Structure 1
């Protein structure tokens, strides 16, 4: 008797999609399982590197490689745009007319900046006096804009949450302070951080520490600012409550949204993110569909570390599921984020759904070598080194040595007395 080969289709060859395909290719029989990954092009960017390009700390070639180079043998990579998913028929329609059928589907199509969603953001000054660093093209254009900047009002602006790498706007602000000092322009520049939040960050403990660092560097913080439109001619941000923030150079983080095909398929929420069980990444609508990385609506940071840790949990659950067993592993929302703070230092945040960022050492108690919620050179070196880890360990699906679940090892409880 012959066994019909089952099909796993992964939509998206970014961090989560590449990792899950590679890990499962090692764990699933090639005779029993066909794995197909779909993405629109063969370009894979190391997205954390976008932050460094405007300051000349990364060159474009260091962050851009071919997707084919990281997809293991035995996985089919299809380069095409996705039209829609028919969840009832278990099929994916591509815009070139092809149709892929699946037994299980992983949506790992990420999230993207959508400047078109904010009136006035796109215009003649887009990628000029209105810049962004959340795309490859934007980060290169912003490098050129900063090279030409001679002082004035530099405004770093967050449109709305959620967006990928939520610490990146703060990192940009700290690095801009450092960069302008190095060019002798800091005394001639006012830096303003504009956010829809009531503080510097979402987590209160981290927000307090990061807010202190902004104040220390002389950065003005404009909170509770919900942008209604941008007037490029007058060079002002205008909020719904009619406040105005003027700028000479604006660095904005546009509204982020999931892929349009998610909306066309009826699988997403208002921002095109797929509603899933936050512990298993399984769709709340269809048990054979999962969403990983930035494509899902789980209530934690849209960050590479979350993609990594949630994929680890998903792989073990998926193997149980296809073996006819209950899924016994649970993702806890673990996020691990370096925060560049300038002057060759960085902070490190480690938290999950239930636990705020705490102080202490990471990953080894009392030894570190990294410090939590405290600036250090080791954290900065760790962030820079991670690019090598990403290309050579994370994407290929090799073990990285960190547990998927958040550990309290080395952490100092918030109520501890000194």
Structure 2
């Protein structure tokens, strides 16, 4: 019996398990998935929970029912991978052998990596990148009656890189609805040169922040946080004061990746950007946020990767070369408040451009433009996520980014 092991039962791991179980014959292939949490979270909800727009209990489900029949689910923390012995060692000492391995253990925030950041966690310092953090921030925002709100990104890459921008725009809308926007100063602090790095999109996002009276502190490389003085301190000695700080801590892959010698300095798995295959260990792959690829760490990327990956994997296990490659395709809805959102569509080589999506010239979703259609599209994604995306059912979206219907500025 041939053995495939999938590490991680989040979005990418669950889709992979569902698609590959249908593709690989049960009498020839044994598939095991290692689930480290037992709970599956609908992570897009973490953006809405702080503003009281999403009931927290709806954002989580038991992971086991999402795993298909014919896949063995093992709960446990992962200690390390031995690529020479082709084994996975769990924290409790169990070992799983594999012929092929797919790493899908994602990314997580690490506030302890920035001096002072964890010292006042869930006091005046918050985040929304985990379930518990989003719930704690909801309570903090409800009790915030005015002052300096700072939204901060420590370093790239991060999960869903537009989420801090979304949070900033939703915070502006939230305080307007509460009638206290004139009592709140909002500052967006980023290590990038602006709210977004790609020129066409950067112009659109910059205008959105300017018209809302949101200040931007760019090129900000944080050195530390002083929780007593309530200031962010940068390496070039700039101080940004806050009364409430919403930060995105340093994002890192799973620690076992580093212990196993499979990743980069942030423990993201080193892979070929097109085939998602490890360059030194051709039997190892990484999908979703765990992969060190230069595109967004987001559910849409996992979806497009896993539209292409299964057929490539089927060829590889037969000793053939892949015939298709992932192009970095990503789509992201960007909530902008007042019941509107923007949408961007891009890949490794092409920046977000204006146009229509998903049908060229028809849409109905406009690209790089605020629209109620885009807001409804983001809300409508939730049932699609549970009923189609996770089970690996086909979605009417092309895996590769298309230039049809897009307008590149002169």
Name 2:58's counterpart in structure 1: 62
* Distance in structure 2 (CA, Å) of the matches to 1:414 and 1:234: 46
Please report how far the alpha carbon of residue 325 of structure 1 lies from its aligned counterpart in structure 2 after TM superposition.
Answer: 1.6
* Residue ranges of structure 1 left out of the alignment (5+ in a row): none
TM-score (norm 2): 0.99
Q: Is 1:192 matched with 2:192?
A: no
- Residue by residue, what CA displacement relative to the aligned partner does 1:351-410 show, whole Å, maximum 9, x if unpaired? 001111110111112221100000000000000111111111100110111111001222
Instruction: Tell me how far 1:414 sits from its aligned partner.
Output: 2.4
Aligned match of 1:328 = 323
1:307-386 equivalence runs, <5 A: 307-386=302-381
Moved more, 62-71 or 112-121: 62-71
Which runs of no fewer than 5 residues in structure 2 stay unpaired?
Answer: none
Q: Secondary structure at the match of 2:118?
A: coil
CA deviations on 1:184-215 (whole Å, 9 max, x unpaired) are: 11000000000000110132221121111011
Runs of 4+ in structure 1 deviating by more than 3 angstroms, as ranges, are none
Per-residue CA deviations over 1:321-340 (Å, capped at 9, x if unaligned) read 11222111110000000000
In the alignment, is residue 14 of structure 1 matched against residue 10 of structure 2? yes
Instruction: Identify the residue that residue 24 of structure 1 maps to in structure 2.
Output: 20
- 1:98 is matched with 94
- Partner Cα separation in structure 2 for residue 182 and residue 6 of structure 1: 58
Output the CA distance in 1 between the equivalents of 2:201 and 2:296. 13
Query: TM-score, normalized by length of structure 1?
Result: 0.97
Distance 1:115 1:58 in 2: 25
Distance between the aligned counterparts of 2:111 and 2:244, measured in 1? 16
Question: Match for 2:409 among 411, 414, 417?
Answer: 414
Q: 1-side partners of 2:31 and 2:54: how far apart?
A: 34
What is the CA deviation profile of residues 57-81 of structure 1, one whole-angstrom value per residue up to 9, with x for unaligned ones? 1111221011112101000110000
CA distance in 2, matches of 1:31, 1:373: 49
- Counterparts of 1:285 and 1:324 in 2: how far apart (Å)? 17
Instruction: Say whether the 8 Å CA contact 1:111–1:256 is kept in structure 2.
Output: yes
Do residues 210 (structure 1) and 175 (structure 2) align? no
8 Å CA contact 1:363, 1:409 repeated in 2: no
3-state SS of the aligned residue for 1:44?
A: strand
SS at match of 1:50: helix
1:108 pairs with 95, 101, 104, which one? 104
Deviations 1:215-243 (A, max 9, x none): 11100000010000000000000000110
> CA–CA distance in 2 between the matches of 1:127 and 1:384?
28
Q: 1:306 aligns with which of 301, 317, 320?
A: 301
Residue-pair matches, total: 410
Deviation at 1:316, TM superposition (A): 1.2
- Asked whether 1:396 is paired with 2:386, we answer no
